[in-house]
Amino acid sequence: MNTFSEILKRNSLSITDGRIKILELFYASDGALAHADIEKNAGLVLDRVTVYRTLQTFVEKGIIHQVPTTDNSVLYALCRQNCANGHHHDNHVHFVCNQCQETVCLDDVTVPAVKLPAGFKPIQSAMIVTGLCNNCK
Protein backbone atom coordinates (compact mmCIF):
# COMPACT_ATOMS: atom_id res chain seq x y z
CA MET A 1 0.00 0.00 0.00
CA ASN A 2 1.52 3.30 -1.08
CA THR A 3 1.42 6.79 0.41
CA PHE A 4 -1.57 7.95 -1.58
CA SER A 5 -3.70 5.05 -0.49
CA GLU A 6 -2.74 5.78 3.07
CA ILE A 7 -3.85 9.38 2.73
CA LEU A 8 -7.20 8.29 1.41
CA LYS A 9 -7.62 5.63 4.07
CA ARG A 10 -6.72 8.07 6.82
CA ASN A 11 -9.54 10.28 5.59
CA SER A 12 -12.05 7.43 5.31
CA LEU A 13 -12.27 7.70 1.56
CA SER A 14 -12.45 4.77 -0.83
CA ILE A 15 -9.23 4.11 -2.65
CA THR A 16 -9.87 4.68 -6.33
CA ASP A 17 -7.68 5.16 -9.38
CA GLY A 18 -9.03 8.64 -9.96
CA ARG A 19 -8.31 9.90 -6.48
CA ILE A 20 -4.81 8.47 -6.55
CA LYS A 21 -4.19 10.09 -9.93
CA ILE A 22 -5.25 13.48 -8.62
CA LEU A 23 -3.13 13.11 -5.49
CA GLU A 24 -0.18 12.23 -7.73
CA LEU A 25 -0.67 15.42 -9.69
CA PHE A 26 -0.72 17.54 -6.56
CA TYR A 27 2.36 15.88 -5.14
CA ALA A 28 4.19 16.24 -8.46
CA SER A 29 3.41 19.95 -8.62
CA ASP A 30 5.28 22.71 -6.83
CA GLY A 31 2.45 25.17 -6.74
CA ALA A 32 -1.28 25.28 -6.94
CA LEU A 33 -3.43 23.62 -9.59
CA ALA A 34 -6.55 24.76 -11.36
CA HIS A 35 -9.40 22.46 -12.24
CA ALA A 36 -8.30 22.77 -15.87
CA ASP A 37 -4.76 21.60 -15.07
CA ILE A 38 -6.10 18.50 -13.43
CA GLU A 39 -8.60 17.80 -16.15
CA LYS A 40 -5.90 18.16 -18.79
CA ASN A 41 -3.75 15.59 -17.04
CA ALA A 42 -6.37 13.25 -15.71
CA GLY A 43 -9.06 13.87 -18.27
CA LEU A 44 -8.35 10.69 -20.16
CA VAL A 45 -8.96 8.67 -17.04
CA LEU A 46 -11.55 10.81 -15.34
CA ASP A 47 -14.78 12.51 -16.12
CA ARG A 48 -15.06 16.28 -15.65
CA VAL A 49 -17.66 15.82 -12.99
CA THR A 50 -15.53 13.37 -11.06
CA VAL A 51 -12.70 15.88 -10.98
CA TYR A 52 -15.03 18.51 -9.54
CA ARG A 53 -16.35 16.08 -6.97
CA THR A 54 -12.93 14.81 -6.00
CA LEU A 55 -11.59 18.31 -5.45
CA GLN A 56 -14.61 19.13 -3.36
CA THR A 57 -14.15 16.00 -1.27
CA PHE A 58 -10.46 16.70 -0.77
CA VAL A 59 -11.21 20.22 0.40
CA GLU A 60 -13.79 18.93 2.88
CA LYS A 61 -11.32 16.42 4.25
CA GLY A 62 -8.57 19.01 4.50
CA ILE A 63 -6.27 17.28 2.04
CA ILE A 64 -6.17 20.32 -0.22
CA HIS A 65 -7.31 23.91 0.24
CA GLN A 66 -8.62 26.55 -2.07
CA VAL A 67 -6.08 29.22 -2.89
CA PRO A 68 -7.26 32.83 -3.09
CA THR A 69 -6.39 34.59 -6.33
CA THR A 70 -6.68 38.13 -7.60
CA ASP A 71 -8.06 37.13 -10.98
CA ASN A 72 -11.02 35.13 -9.71
CA SER A 73 -9.74 31.82 -10.92
CA VAL A 74 -10.07 28.80 -8.66
CA LEU A 75 -6.88 27.15 -7.51
CA TYR A 76 -6.18 24.30 -5.14
CA ALA A 77 -3.05 23.29 -3.26
CA LEU A 78 -2.00 20.59 -0.86
CA CYS A 79 -2.37 21.25 2.84
CA ARG A 80 1.01 20.65 4.33
CA GLN A 81 -0.15 19.26 7.63
CA ASN A 82 -3.28 17.51 6.40
CA CYS A 83 -5.18 19.43 9.02
CA ALA A 84 -8.70 18.72 10.10
CA ASN A 85 -10.23 22.15 9.64
CA GLY A 86 -10.58 22.26 5.91
CA HIS A 87 -11.78 25.80 5.90
CA HIS A 88 -9.19 27.74 7.79
CA HIS A 89 -6.26 27.80 5.48
CA ASP A 90 -6.18 31.45 4.77
CA ASN A 91 -3.51 32.14 7.29
CA HIS A 92 -0.52 31.80 4.98
CA VAL A 93 0.46 34.07 2.15
CA HIS A 94 0.01 32.92 -1.45
CA PHE A 95 2.48 33.95 -4.09
CA VAL A 96 1.66 34.17 -7.79
CA CYS A 97 4.56 34.42 -10.24
CA ASN A 98 4.06 36.84 -13.09
CA GLN A 99 6.55 34.93 -15.22
CA CYS A 100 5.71 31.25 -14.88
CA GLN A 101 2.18 31.84 -13.56
CA GLU A 102 2.74 29.34 -10.76
CA THR A 103 0.96 29.86 -7.48
CA VAL A 104 2.95 28.87 -4.45
CA CYS A 105 1.82 28.51 -0.86
CA LEU A 106 4.29 30.29 1.39
CA ASP A 107 3.47 28.14 4.38
CA ASP A 108 5.98 29.91 6.57
CA VAL A 109 4.75 33.42 5.86
CA THR A 110 1.66 34.27 7.87
CA VAL A 111 -0.73 37.03 6.90
CA PRO A 112 0.04 40.06 9.10
CA ALA A 113 -2.70 41.72 11.11
CA VAL A 114 -3.88 45.16 9.99
CA LYS A 115 -5.54 47.92 11.94
CA LEU A 116 -9.07 48.35 10.64
CA PRO A 117 -11.29 51.42 10.89
CA ALA A 118 -13.54 51.64 13.95
CA GLY A 119 -16.42 49.20 13.88
CA PHE A 120 -14.83 46.61 11.63
CA LYS A 121 -14.23 43.26 13.29
CA PRO A 122 -11.82 40.95 11.44
CA ILE A 123 -12.33 37.20 11.49
CA GLN A 124 -10.15 35.91 8.69
CA SER A 125 -7.53 37.34 6.36
CA ALA A 126 -6.07 36.35 3.02
CA MET A 127 -3.09 37.80 1.24
CA ILE A 128 -1.82 37.33 -2.28
CA VAL A 129 1.55 38.62 -3.41
CA THR A 130 2.44 38.70 -7.08
CA GLY A 131 5.94 39.09 -8.50
CA LEU A 132 8.79 36.82 -9.48
CA CYS A 133 9.30 33.48 -7.79
CA ASN A 134 12.58 31.86 -6.81
CA ASN A 135 12.81 30.03 -10.12
CA CYS A 136 12.09 32.99 -12.35
CA LYS A 137 13.99 35.81 -10.63
Partner DNA sequence: TAAATATTTGCAACAATATTGCAAAAAATA
Partner DNA sequence: TATTTTTTGCAATATTGTTGCAAATATTTA
Q: Which residues bind DNA (CB under 7 A)?
A: 8-9, 13-19, 35-36, 45-50, 52-54, 56-57, 72, 74
d(CA 74, CA 71): 9
Comparing CB distances to a copy of itself, the nearer of 21 and 65 is: 65
Q: Smallest distance from the beta carbon of 22 to DNA, in angstroms?
A: 9
Q: Smallest distance from the beta carbon of 45 to DNA, in angstroms?
A: 6
d(CA 40, CA 81): 27
Binders of a copy of itself among 3-62, rule CB under 8 A? none
DSSP assignment, residue 115? P
Report what 30 binds from a copy of itself, DNA, none; CB cut-off 5-8 Å by kind.
none
Asked if 95 is part of the footprint of a copy of itself (rule: CB under 8 A), the reply reads yes
d(CA 13, CA 17): 12
Among candidate residues 58, 91, 51, the one with its CA nearest the CA of residue 77: 58
Three-class secondary structure of residue 108 per DSSP: strand
DSSP assignment, residue 68? P
Q: Which one of residues 4, 20, 69, 102 is an interface residue with a copy of itself (CB under 8 A)?
A: 69
User: 21 and 45 in contact (C-beta within 8 Å)?
Assistant: yes
Residues that bind a copy of itself (CB under 8 A): 66, 68-70, 72-74, 90, 93, 95, 98, 106, 108-109, 111-112, 114-135, 137
